[in-house]
Amino acid sequence: MLENEDPECVLSRVGKAAREGTGFEDWSQNDRIKTTVGVYSLRAKELPTVSTPVTWEEVEECLERGEPDFLTFRSDQVLARFEELGDIFLPVQELKQALPDLPVAAVKKKK
């Protein structure tokens, strides 16, 4: 529905080239067989890493290093990060947002 309303800003195709400069709503992750987990959750792997919020500085450092594992954290590391940095996800939880009203025409198209 959102893609139909504003295809310049929202799309549902997975290809990176198609979605450059847009918001991507990955509706396919909302399934009981998917492994996407919430923040601070253990991932179901042989070595369970933790879904961890990171800072933009850490993202930039990871890019500079060229080491994706730089942003991989075990539970003991996440506990230490939390003690040192606090809950860096908290601003996301406290942010008050209002979604715009969807036009009635877009809702009717979906049906």
Both tokens of 87, joined, read 């809950």
51 and 40 Cβ atoms separated by less than 8 Å: yes
76-107 tens-digit pLDDT? 999 999 999 999 999 988 988 887 776 655 44
Report which secondary-structure segment, H or E, holds 23: strand 23-24
pLDDT band at 23 (very low <50, low <70, confident <90, very high): low
Amino acid identity at 91: P
Whether 90 and 55 share a structural domain: yes
Whether 46 and 27 share a structural domain: no
Q: Is residue 42 part of a domain?
A: yes
Whether 25 and 69 share a structural domain: no
24-80 tens-digit pLDDT? 666 666 666 666 778 898 887 788 889 999 999 999 999 999 998 999 999 999 999
Whether 42 and 30 share a structural domain: no
Whether 51 and 11 share a structural domain: no
Q: Is residue 69 part of a domain?
A: yes
Predicted confidence at residue 10, as pLDDT, reads: 73
pTM of the model: 0.56
